[in-house]
Amino acid sequence: MPEGRSEISNSQTLVIDFNDLNYEAVEQQNGMATVVKFKLENPSISAGDVLLVLAGEDIQFHGFIGGIENGWAIATDRNGSSLPAGIN
């Protein structure tokens, strides 16, 4: 009989207003950023958490944080991003 998981993982959602997001598009599709590198100001966020970028009530970006290094994180939203590609 296979063993069950012995630990429970919880992910957090990091919500950032578009105007407060310091990011660079690493990958883009049709002018929208699908992979972003952004300055991470919250030390409690880790890989596996979710980045949610809002412009008012509109979702600009919603994706998993895949890695963090030297205060910068990488997040991916390949399906629904409306975050402009480029550097902000």
Span 12-39, pLDDT tens digits: 999 999 999 999 999 999 999 999 999 9
3-state secondary structure of 80: coil
What is the model's pLDDT at position 57? 94
> Measured between alpha carbons, how far is 69 from 37 in angstroms, rounded to an integer?
10
What is the model's pLDDT at position 10? 83
What is the model's pLDDT at position 1? 44
Span 34-63, pLDDT tens digits: 999 999 999 999 999 999 999 999 999 999
CATH class as words, domain 13-76: mainly beta
Q: Is the pLDDT of residue 64 over 80?
A: yes
Domain coordinates in residue numbering, the chain:
13-76
